[in-house]
Structure 1
């Protein structure tokens, strides 16, 4: 089994999580990562991961796949933090409050309360009744029903829990560094642009490709997925060391969020926007003003303490897809398999490890065959 028996196409967080999952299963020494953009690159709109918030939140969809990927991603990240694993250097447990202007689906609420830690559900009803709920893993969930006046105007539902916040650019660079080490398989990262999916089979020995190309799934020959589209976001990176909590508000036509960036000397991500189909890479001053206004309303102390300093504004294009992420296999030829893993939109960091588990599981038969051949 050669070094390039397995190729991971794409080096955003989704591709990095696949590399990490393969490495943990013992396949690191058979992998090459091929990508046009690599961790550390921040000068292009085409590389989305460095611009992410990033955190675990309720922003994802309510379908069964999204709920499963979220649950797995949250559980694995928490385990990394709890065990003080090397991969958790730029991850942190953070208190979080999230609000929805419209009630989330009951399946989503039920799923979140089954695994999130330190959960308090806040619902807009009459009275102050409290109900204790315990899931199969004995995680206590407190349902707090509050009067309407105790919630921000227009909010229908809220939840408090312990989230995971991530220093996105530092985490990606850190994973690349770890994966390049012998312990993880000394995985090489090859900077290369491919014009066709077939080009990812970089030698006659390449038998398995994990396609983690994000927005390039729209244009790359051999994929050209018409269900894919960018979701533009604009954020502000600010200096606000007093902010220690994650706060979000989900609206029908907006997302407002305040995300402290761990291991960053007090920087915070403020956002944002969810503009479907918008490819514009340009910072819009009016949008920055809107972000300041909305985040100030969500957390008044952000503006009142006078310590906030805007460092820069940035734009990112989330790689989204109608119907959710595509995680499935495609047989290119009798001895060549592609496992697609793209279209996670704004959930790459929170669901990436869950996506990786499913993607690698899909390739289990091929991986076993490659291993057996290598032993001959």
Structure 2
């Protein structure tokens, strides 16, 4: 019996599970997902990054210092984008909504100004550089393109349900085991029938224990807003960067049942900051910038803050790791270290992981 084991139940792990079950040639007879946290857990743990996300697709040009990883991860985002178009059409309950994306920069790097690779009409739909007359005060550069927003917790629950229903439909035995692993090799002790191991553990749990030393966390604090009235942000997502490097963005959180959407106002990017408690000064700074940039989100001159979100993006120096490790216990397909690009890259990473799986592991007997 083929038993594919996935470590991690965030957006990367569940995307791998979903893609694996969708592919008849690779579909295992048994699927095991091991994680300390699962979608729909209450309360949401700060150790579980995926439910706290925005989430939307915001492309950026390849930077000279990280060109190789930027190029690779950009390709992941385009694969995800194309699959999301199908999911949005066929599964409105996924909450994926396509809309206009706008980037506004006060002091743009040269790769933006020259519309470098990854940030032009070659791979972005409805891409257009804004005219000077269209730019807000103090903004030196702007572009628009077609993008999407989604409701992270609801989308995770959608993926989890798709995994369950696909297993039921195709006779794949599903086991979801809640535990914290200390080392990947524990998987082979618990499941000696493991024929493939996908490591979607975010920070990169290693075979003999510990985490990938190239991995680090980026703390993000955002505000979840109730906005009972209609605004232009129902149809667009905007990201603004000021001269000091502060990123301020508004992301719609669509609903699956037609009820009023909420919005994310963000955010912070604080590497190696492990404070799980919301900080008033971070929230105050976000609201101060939001009052200037996105005043339409306020009600009677104030933001209605439903919750302060604190999450930790699992980033990696040198870019994400999506590759095969041939360990003494068996092959491991690593898929971690995506930082704040988990949703944007999710199905592209899963597609790559499955290609590695098909070239490394024996095909299941159909």
Same-fold call, TM > 0.5? yes
CA separation of 1:43/1:111 partners in 2, compared to 1, >3 Å: closer, same or farther? closer
Q: What root-mean-square deviation, in Å, do the aligned CA atoms of Structure 1 and Structure 2 show?
A: 2.4
Secondary structure of the corresponding residue to residue 18 of structure 1 = helix
> Displacement, 1:318?
0.3
> Displacement, 1:316?
0.4
Secondary structure of the corresponding residue to residue 180 of structure 1 = helix
CA separation of 1:206/1:275 partners in 2, compared to 1, >3 Å: closer, same or farther? same
The equivalent of 1:90 in structure 2 is 95
Report 1:27-106 matches (<5 A): 27=27, 29-41=29-41, 42-58=43-59, 62=63, 63-82=70-89, 84-85=90-91, 89-100=94-105, 101-103=107-109, 105=111, 106=114
> Displacement, 1:306?
4.5
> In structure 2, what is the Cα distance between the partners aligned to 1:154 and 1:282?
33
2:17 is the alignment partner of 1:19: yes
Unpaired segments of 5 or more residues in structure 2? Answer: 64-69
> In structure 1, what is the Cα distance between the partners aligned to 2:332 and 2:110?
35
> Displacement, 1:157?
2.4
The answer (yes or no) to whether the contact 2:61–2:118 under 8 Å persists in 1 is no
> In structure 2, what is the Cα distance between the partners aligned to 1:311 and 1:60?
34
The answer (yes or no) to whether the contact 2:184–2:205 under 8 Å persists in 1 is no
> In structure 2, what is the Cα distance between the partners aligned to 1:268 and 1:220?
40
Per-residue CA shift, 1:299-348, capped at 9, x if unaligned?
22223765741111120000001111111110012x61101100000000
The answer (yes or no) to whether the contact 1:10–1:34 under 8 Å persists in 2 is yes
> Displacement, 1:218?
6.5
The equivalent of 2:241 in structure 1 is 250
Secondary structure of the corresponding residue to residue 298 of structure 2 = helix
CA separation of 1:152/1:340 partners in 2, compared to 1, >3 Å: closer, same or farther? same
2:319 is the alignment partner of 1:324: yes
Unpaired segments of 5 or more residues in structure 1? Answer: 123-144
Secondary structure of the corresponding residue to residue 194 of structure 2 = coil
Per-residue CA shift, 1:150-204, capped at 9, x if unaligned?
4234433222122111100111012111211123646332212111111123311
Secondary structure of the corresponding residue to residue 97 of structure 1 = strand
The equivalent of 1:211 in structure 2 is 199
Aligned length: 342
